[in-house]
């Protein structure tokens, strides 16, 4: 399989699995494997752990769910952390997690191609510096690998700044400006809230229906209430109860231009992956007029935007709160396990395992809870195969032995 190009690189055989991505998903699998005495190698394209959190999130970000729903396997959050840890607290937790399980990714390694070699029965993973081979490949790049830039007519004509939320840090950069925020999910709502802190005037584009729920109700997490009720009641009943709580707490959001879908919030999340917005104050600012809601954009002009309802307005800046997408199709070759959008074809809870030693984690559309579920399953499955190949060795024996073998190819 080695091409002339590959022969310019070091060839590295990994005795355990190759994990692509050093975010919470990849770290969770590595930790669960380490706990069972199985070594692994993580390849990470950036220079840090959890790069989405460290490099592509805004300063005011906090976990949207209570911390006990966001714990990685085998390690709880510190007791002194608040119910909703901040961005910096979550990053410190992830770094402590990696240190506890002695996880040391190979940083600055962009995977250019990964494919299964039928002849050898190995996965070959090529980066700009080396070619790695292993019996197992764990795809841990997740659902949020690349920003989604919408194809809006005229967007390139706009003379002001156009920023995706992956590059947005704080509303201080937009103080006293009139800003068009495209997108009304959790990021869009929180960016609007942040902009208002700096006396900006955000106009939020709402193209489709959206569920907005209070993050907390009666001092309890709405998500926690839902998870508890689901233990005893059917999903549709729990959805109806959540909508009653939302109406009691937030009022009729349809009157604000935020139409609710006909399908309930949990059912919609399970079927489509579309997450309900957990309100942390944006609804009150919409009600007071500090955040304006607009209909879908028809066209961007040099100085602003035209909307489908015929209105036209000028704006100083545009922020794209349009989410992220998987990048798996860009580098995983000749594989039928993923859709063209880069998501596993098999739905949760069975989408974690493919064929020929292929595994996926971070694609459940169920946040860190889904990640933890898949990580444990993957580690159990690989450990069973590892033990058959290597014998019932203790974890100390396995981890003390070398788990990568280097072969240097020099071009003649």
pLDDT digits (tens, 9 = 90+) for 59-98: 999 999 999 999 999 999 999 999 999 999 999 999 999 9
How many whole angstroms separate alpha carbon 133 and alpha carbon 115? 10
pLDDT given for residue 362 in this prediction:
94
Q: At 174, is the secondary structure helix, strand, or coil?
A: helix
Whether 410 has a pLDDT exceeding 60, the answer reads no
Which comes out higher in pLDDT, residue 158 or 390? Answer: 158
pLDDT at 406: 52
Confidence of residue 403 (pLDDT cuts 50, 70, 90): low
Residue 8: band (very low, low, confident or very high) from pLDDT cuts 50, 70, 90? low
Q: What is the mean pLDDT of residues 111-124?
A: 95
pLDDT at 270: 84
- pLDDT score recorded for residue 40: 96
With cut-offs at 50, 70 and 90, classify the pLDDT of residue 402.
very low
Examine the pLDDT at 339 and tell me if it is beyond 50: yes
Residue pair 143/120 in contact (Cβ under 8 Å)? The answer is no
Using CA atoms, how far apart are residues 332 and 330, in angstroms rounded to an integer? 6
Long-range contacts of 150-158 (CB under 8 A, 24+ apart): 150/182, 150/320, 150/322, 152/182, 152/297, 152/299, 152/300, 153/298, 153/299, 153/300, 154/299, 154/300, 154/301, 155/300, 155/318, 157/300, 157/301, 157/302, 158/300, 158/301, 158/302, 158/303, 158/318
Please, what is the average pLDDT of the chain? 91
pLDDT at 412: 36
Exposure of 407 in the CB half-sphere (CA atoms within 13 A): 11
Helix H or strand E encompassing 187: helix 186-197
**For residue 397, pLDDT beyond 50:** no
Residue 13 has pLDDT above 60, yes or no: yes
- For residue 336, what pLDDT is reported? 86
Band (pLDDT 50/70/90 cuts) for residue 32 is: very high
Q: What is the pLDDT of residue 399?
A: 38
Report percent pLDDT > 70 for the chain. Answer: 93
Task: Answer with the residue of higher pLDDT: 151 or 391.
Answer: 151
Per-residue pLDDT band at 389 (split at 50, 70, 90): confident
Residue 236's pLDDT is 95
Residue 201 CA to residue 288 CA, distance in Å, equals: 12
pLDDT band of residue 352 (cuts 50, 70, 90) is: very high
188-233 confidence digits (pLDDT tens): 999 999 999 999 999 999 999 999 999 998 889 999 999 999 999 9
Statement: residue 16 has pLDDT above 50:
yes
Please, what is the Cα angle at 61 between 56 and 62, to 5 degrees? 130
Share of the chain above pLDDT 90, in %: 86
Per-residue pLDDT at 392: 63
Q: What is the pLDDT of residue 2?
A: 43
At 273, is the pLDDT very low, low, confident or very high (cuts 50, 70, 90)?
confident
Q: What is the mean pLDDT of residues 4-15?
A: 71
pLDDT reported for residue 135: 96
């Amino acid at each position: 399989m080695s091409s002339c190009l590959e022969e310019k690189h070091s060839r590295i055989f990994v005795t355990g699995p190759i994990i692509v991505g050093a975010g919470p998903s990849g770290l969770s699998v590595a930790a669960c494997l380490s706990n069972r005495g199985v070594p692994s190698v993580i390849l990470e394209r950036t220079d840090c752990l959890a790069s989405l959190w460290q490099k592509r999130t805004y300063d005011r970000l906090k976990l949207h769910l209570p911390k006990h729903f966001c714990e990685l396997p085998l390690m709880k959050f510190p007791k002194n952390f608040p119910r909703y840890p901040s961005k910096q607290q979550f990053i410190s937790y992830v770094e402590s997690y990696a240190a506890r399980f002695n996880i040391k990714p190979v940083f600055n390694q962009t995977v250019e191609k990964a494919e299964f070699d039928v002849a050898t029965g190995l996965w070959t993973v090529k980066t700009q510096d080396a070619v790695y081979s292993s019996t197992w490949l764990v795809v841990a790049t997740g659902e949020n690998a690349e920003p989604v830039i919408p194809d809006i007519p005229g967007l390139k004509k706009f003379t002001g700044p156009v920023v995706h939320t992956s590059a947005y840090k704080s509303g201080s950069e937009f103080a006293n400006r009139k800003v068009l925020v495209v997108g009304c999910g959790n990021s869009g709502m929180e960016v609007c809230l942040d902009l208002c802190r700096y006396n900006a005037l955000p106009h939020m584009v709402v193209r489709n229906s959206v569920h907005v729920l209070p993050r907390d109700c009666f001092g309890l997490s709405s998500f926690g209430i839902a998870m508890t009720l689901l233990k005893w009641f059917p999903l549709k009943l729990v959805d109806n109860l959540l909508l009653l709580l939302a109406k009691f707490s937030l009022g009729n959001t349809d009157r604000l231009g935020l139409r609710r879908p006909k399908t309930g919030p949990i059912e919609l999340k399970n079927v489509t992956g579309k997450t309900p917005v957990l309100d942390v104050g944006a609804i009150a600012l919409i009600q007071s007029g500090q955040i304006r809601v607009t209909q879908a954009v028809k066209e961007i002009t040099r100085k602003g935007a035209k909307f489908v309802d015929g209105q036209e307005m000028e704006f100083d800046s545009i922020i794209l709160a349009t989410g992220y997408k998987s990048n798996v199709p860009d580098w995983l070759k000749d594989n039928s396990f993923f859709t063209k959008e880069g998501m596993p074809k098999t739905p949760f809870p069975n989408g974690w395992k493919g064929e020929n030693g292929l595994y996926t984690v971070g694609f459940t559309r169920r946040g860190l809870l889904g990640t933890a579920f898949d990580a444990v399953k993957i580690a159990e499955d690989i450990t069973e195969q590892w033990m058959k190949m290597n014998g019932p060795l203790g974890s100390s024996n396995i981890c003390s032995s070398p788990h990568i073998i280097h072969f240097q190819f020099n071009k003649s």
